[in-house]
Amino acid sequence: MRARNGQDKRKTYKTQGEAMMKQLLVHETTFARIETALKPYADRISPIVMDDEGDLKHPWGESEAGQIKGGKSEAVTSIAYGTQDAYFSPAVQTFFQTMFALPNLEFFQSSAAGIEHPMLQAIGQKASSYASSHAQSEAIAEWVLWAGLEHFQNGAARRAAQAAQDWKRMDFREISDTHWLIIGFGGIGRETGKRLKALGAQVTGVRRSGGSDDDAHTIITPDGLAAALPTADAVLLSVPHTPETDNMARGEFFAAMKPDSLFVNVGRGALVDEDALLAALDSGQVAHAALDVVRQEPLPMGNAIWTHPKITLTPHIAALTEQAKIRTDRLFLKNLGKFFAGEPLHNAVPKTSFGG
C-alpha cells in the first residue's frame, strides 16, 4: 500500500457547503463495472482501486483530499466496497489490510450475506455502518434447482444410458411432487422457496423468528425440525454458521431424514459432520448429497467427498454469476446514495452483531 501523508485539510472541510471528499476502496474489476454509475459522486469520492497484484491506483486522480492518510488525519473519511472480485483475489489480504488502514471507515458494503468470517467481523467493528447483501441468493437458488432437478430426473442414469447407446425409457419424479425442508429461511432460503413453490413443490421453511412467509407453505421454528425431517424429500441447509448451527447435520439428523431423500448444503461446510454424511449415503438412508461447501476448502485431493458416487460437489461457486455481481453493484450504489443522504442503509447490520 502506497500511503502518504498529506497536509491537514480540516480547515477545508469546515467550509460551509463544501462536500468532504471521501476515499472509496474497491477492487479493479468491480470498479470497471460501476465507474460510470459513480461519476455523479465525482466531487465527493476519490476511488482507490486495487488490482490482483495488490497495487493501488487512483484512477480519478490523486486529489489532496483523496490521498490515503494512513489514519493520521481524522478529517479524511472513507468508504469501502468488498465484492467477490476482492474476496477471491490473490491479493485479498492486501485488500483487507488496506481497509484496516483506511481512516474513519464510515460505510462498508459487503457483497456477502454472511458476516461470520473473522476479517468481516473485524471490519464490522471498525466501520461506522456495515451493510450486507443478499444479491447472491438468486444465483444460489438456481444452483439448488439445478441440483434438485438433476437428482429427481436422475441425470446420471440418463447420461449413462446415452453413453451406452441404450434407448432405455426411464421415468422420473416431478419436482412438483416433492416436499422441501429449507433450514434457514433468510435470503437464500426465501429465493429458493419462491422458485420451488412456482414449480409446484411443497416448501417448509425453518427459521428462529417463525411466523409465515409468502415463499413457503409452512414456516416452523428450529424446535420443530426433528418432527419435520422425516417428511421431506429434500433437505436444504441455507443457514449461517454459528455456534448453534455448528455440526447440526450429524448422525441423528441424517437418521431422521426420510429414507432415499436428497441432502443439499449451500450454507457452510462446518454445518455438516461429513463422516456421518458419508455413512448415511453408504447405508442408503440419504439417496444423494449436493454440496457447494465443505468443511475444508479447497477440499484436499483424495478426500472421499470428491469420489463418492452419491455426491455432487461444486467448489463454493453457487453464487458465482455475473448477474449476482450486477445486483450487488446496484445495491451498493443505492446504499451509497442513502449514505450521502443520511438515510438508513438497506441490509444494515447492527454494530452489536460484531462481537469483541
Q: 169, 212, 243, 342: which one contacts a copy of itself (CB under 8 A)?
A: 169
85 binds a copy of itself (CB under 8 A): no
Residue count at the site for a copy of itself (CB under 8 A)? Answer: 49
297 binds a copy of itself (CB under 8 A): yes
268 labelled catalytic: yes
Q: 28, 85, 138, 273: which one contacts a copy of itself (CB under 8 A)?
A: 138
Q: 59, 71, 155, 210: which one contacts a copy of itself (CB under 8 A)?
A: 155
Distance, first Cα to last Cα, the chain: 27
Alpha helices in 4-154, H assignment, sequence order: 10-14, 28-38, 84-87, 92-101, 118-126, 137-152
CA dist 227 → 17, 232, 250, 255, 262 (Å): 62, 10, 16, 12, 17
111 binds a copy of itself (CB under 8 A): no
From its phi and psi, is residue 256 left (phi > 0), alpha (psi between -120 and 50) or beta? alpha
Choose the catalytic residue: 179, 207, 241, 316: 316
Spatial distance between the Cα atoms of 41 and 156, rounded to a whole number of angstroms: 52
Closer residue to a copy of itself, CB minimum distance, 18 or 174: 174
297 labelled catalytic: yes
Q: 18, 116, 174, 244: which one contacts a copy of itself (CB under 8 A)?
A: 174
In this structure, the number of other CB atoms found within 10 A of the CB of residue 16 comes to 4
Q: 68, 86, 131, 139: which one contacts a copy of itself (CB under 8 A)?
A: 139
Q: How far is the CB of 314 from a copy of itself (least distance, A)?
A: 5
Q: How far is the CB of 233 from a copy of itself (least distance, A)?
A: 13
153 binds a copy of itself (CB under 8 A): yes
Q: Amino acid identity, residue 352? A: T
Choose the catalytic residue: 134, 268, 288, 327: 268
Question: Starting at the edge strand that comes first in sequence, how are the strands of the sheet with 56-57 ordered?
Answer: 56-57, 45-50, 22-27, 77-82, 105-110, 129-131
160 binds a copy of itself (CB under 8 A): no
φ, ψ of residue 265 to 5 degrees: the values are -125, 115
Contacts (CB under 8 A) with a copy of itself, residues 189-248: 195, 198-200
Q: How far is the CB of 19 from a copy of itself (least distance, A)?
A: 37
Spatial distance between the Cα atoms of 136 and 205, rounded to a whole number of angstroms: 19
Task: Specify the long-range contacts of residues 45-53, CB closer than 8 Å, at least 24 apart.
Answer: 45/21, 45/79, 46/21, 46/22, 47/23, 48/23, 48/24, 48/98, 50/25, 50/26, 50/86, 50/89, 50/91, 50/94, 50/95, 50/98, 51/27, 51/91, 52/28, 52/89, 52/90, 52/91, 53/90, 53/91
116 binds a copy of itself (CB under 8 A): no
Q: 11, 171, 211, 243: which one contacts a copy of itself (CB under 8 A)?
A: 171
165 binds a copy of itself (CB under 8 A): yes
Choose the catalytic residue: 18, 53, 174, 297: 297
Closer residue to a copy of itself, CB minimum distance, 24 or 324: 324
Q: Which residues contact 308 (CB under 8 A, 6 or more apart)?
A: 278, 281, 289
Q: How far is the CB of 200 from a copy of itself (least distance, A)?
A: 7
Catalytic residues: 268, 297, 316
User: In the complex, which residues of this chain contact a copy of itself (CB under 8 A)?
Assistant: 88, 138-139, 142-143, 145-146, 149-150, 153, 155, 158-159, 161-162, 165, 167-177, 195, 198-200, 297-299, 301-302, 306-307, 312-317, 320-324
